[in-house]
Amino acid sequence: MQTTTVFERLKNGEIILPTDSGAHKMREASFATKKLLVEMNNSSNPDEIRDFLSQITDTEIDVSVTVLTPLYINYGKHTKIGKNVFINFDCVFLDLGGITIEDNVLIAPKVSLLTEGHPTTIENRHSLIPKPIHIKKNAWIGANATILQGVTIGENAVVASGSVVSKDVPHNTIVGGVPAKFLKTI
């Protein structure tokens, strides 16, 4: 008998097989989150948006946080957002593996934070491999950038627009490209 939920096991980085007894709970949770997202994404009131996001993440979203909707999240309870964070329009957060966004982070439009992946072998492809994303203080993620699972973006770092980040980004650097590479030190 398993003593932890599928969500705890995801947060711990365990691979979840499609035959897992808790797999259906991920879909159920995603639809519950979707219900709140529909309401949040139809609001133009910043306080209401923060309230919905607080419900989705099961944490208190600080009044200093600005979210320009729409925002799409598949679960929400594995997302932690610091103070004075700005999230622009049309972002996607797949957070079953865990997303941490520290204080003073800027996230431009159409940014994707993807903590989930799948094995490349055909017979195991429907399994879910979760790995966390951590965006440290004062980072700026440019428009249409994609941050892949297991990546940490360092303090004060900048990710250029359109980049695909598959490796950690050191503090005080700018990266860009597909795949993202070091461009310069700030």
Omega before 119 within 30 of 0, i.e. cis: no
Q: Are 1 and 20 in contact (CB under 8 A)?
A: no
Helices (H) and strands (E) in the chain, counts: 3, 18
Q: Are 16 and 130 in contact (CB under 8 A)?
A: yes
Residue 171 designated active-site: no
Selecting among 24, 78, 118, 134, the annotated active-site residue is 118
What are the tokens at 86?
Answer: 């700005």
Which helix or strand (DSSP H or E) is residue 24 part of? helix 23-41
Strands 129-130, 116-117: pairing is antiparallel
What are residue 175's DSSP bridge partners? 159, 182
Torsion sign, CA atoms 169, 129, 92, 48: negative
Q: Which residues are catalytic?
A: 118
